[in-house]
Every structure is written in C-alpha cells, then in structure tokens.
Structure 1
C-alpha cells in the first residue's frame, strides 16, 4: 500500500472530529471529508491524487511535504458586500487542509502539482526499488534427489 496512516489513535481522533464537523455544518456522509474530496490512483510509475477544489483561488492553494506527510491547504474567501444578506449558506468558507501520509516507497522529493478546472492534481513518483519487476527464472540441469 502506497498511502498509509501512521498512528491509529490520531486517525480515530480525526475521524471523530470529521464526523462531528460534518454533522454541525450540515455536510452529509457522502461528502467525502466535506470540503476537499480526494481520489487516489496508482499508476505504473506514480501515484496521482486528485483533490476537488471548486471556486478556489489558485493563489490560495499550498502543497507541502514534511516527513512523509503531504498537506494540501486552500482557501475560499467570502464574496459578500456590505449590503448583502445571505438567506442560504451551504458553501463552506475559510481555509481547508487535507493531509495524506505517504509511504517510504514514494519519492517525496519529486512531487509536482497542477490546478485546472477546479481540480488539483498531485503526482508522486514511485521509487525505482518499489516498482514491479519481472524476476527471471534460472534454468539448469535437473538432477535426481536420492533419499
């Protein structure tokens, strides 16, 4: 597995916090972490992560890697003037962060990212030693084993 979690206690705390946050903000269970849903795709030579970030200013997006943890932060600013009075508010505002724990089989020094049409794509190469390879089978003379 190329994306791993390090500490089960931290995972449980984050899961409980996310559950409480979704409930208090009105986000459903199908919202996949609410504000920043993620798809992870394992390809031959890399892992591709796609984060949905609609309506986000590209200049507010920050991708960092620190000690095997990839963090994506992005912000959506309030778009109301002084005279505006909202009567429905379903779009979350503010700064959002998502963290993904990377395995030691990924090259965290060669991460690249691109943002297009509301989707942030982060590509992380798989280290050469972790790529699938074919093992050659040696052929030799068959010898009978005596018991």
Structure 2
C-alpha cells in the first residue's frame, strides 16, 4: 500500500520546523538569519565572550553593556559598484547581525575590553568584586 504524499510532506515540514525551533532556543539546528554564533566562557574572574564575525571591520561592530546584558550589533555595508569593473556574480551583500547575551553576574563595566582578529571578536568582562568582601549580617 502506497503512503499518502501529503503525509510525507507534513512530516518533512514538521522536521524542518523542529530544527528551526531548536536553532532559536538552543543554538543548534538551522541558523537563524541575523544571528551571531557566540561562545560564553566563565574563566573564574571574568566572562569571555567570543563571536564569529567574518568579513566585518571594527568600525562595523558596536558593543553595548547595559543592565546585565552585552549587546552586539554589526552591519556590513555593500559597495554600489565594483572598483575598476562590474560585477558578474554578487553574493556578498549588506548584512546586519545582532545578539544579546545575558550575563549571569554583574561585571566591572569600566574594565571591559574587546579585541577583533581574523574575524573573531573577543570581549573580556571582569566580574565585579564583592564576593570576598561580603559582610556577615547577624540576626538578632
């Protein structure tokens, strides 16, 4: 007995839908347009955020730290015309990406540093001191 082709199509669409949802919620599956792949590492005294941004210049990248979140935005402008000729094929177009990363603990905002090398952005966010300087509170 032959299967209904509409059932097969429905199964394929369900599978694709699950992959997209997984990509949005867990960082796996299909990539979400405008999203940036990042790693966030806890290096004891600091958080290190690494983001893949190939093809961007440092002037194209904007970092903002606000209310316990690091916001990364990058926009690559496209040239209207090729210098010295014309395009035969054009796939590298303007692209904007953004990502908001919620930090688990407060960071020392005045000590944050960032570097960009070979298409990889690295942001170092030192944790705010305070754990060792905590005051014991007696209960009466």
TM-score over 0.5 for the alignment?
A: yes
Q: Where does residue 36 of structure 1 map in the other structure?
A: 36
Does residue 1:122 correspond to 2:114, yes or no? no
User: What's the secondary structure of 2:59's corresponding residue?
Assistant: helix
Does residue 1:51 correspond to 2:55, yes or no? no
Tell me how far apart the structure 2 counterparts of residues 94 and 65 of structure 1 sit (CA, whole Å). Answer: 22
With the length of structure 1 as denominator, give the TM-score of the two structures.
Answer: 0.57
Which of these residues, 64, 75, 84, is aligned with residue 87 of structure 2?
84
Q: Which runs of 5+ in 1 are unaligned?
A: 1-15, 23-27, 132-147
Report if aligned partners of 2:58, 2:116 keep a CA contact under 8 Å in 1.
yes
Tell me how far apart the structure 1 counterparts of residues 93 and 60 of structure 2 sit (CA, whole Å). Answer: 15
Residues 49, 92 of structure 1: alpha-carbon distance in 2 compared, 3 angstrom cutoff: farther
User: What's the secondary structure of 1:54's corresponding residue?
Assistant: coil
- CA RMSD across the alignment: 3.1
Higher relative contact order (CA 8 A, sep 6+): 1
- How big is each residue's C-alpha offset from its partner over 1:72-109, in whole Å with a ceiling of 9 and x where there is no partner? 1111222462742436x4x5632211111123433234
Q: Which runs of 5+ in 2 are unaligned?
A: 1-16, 133-140
1:1-147 paired onto structure 2 within 5 Å = 19=20, 29=29, 31=31, 35-79=35-79, 81=81, 83-86=86-89, 89=91, 93-130=94-131
Runs of 4 or more above 6 Å deviation: none
Give the paired residue count. Answer: 106
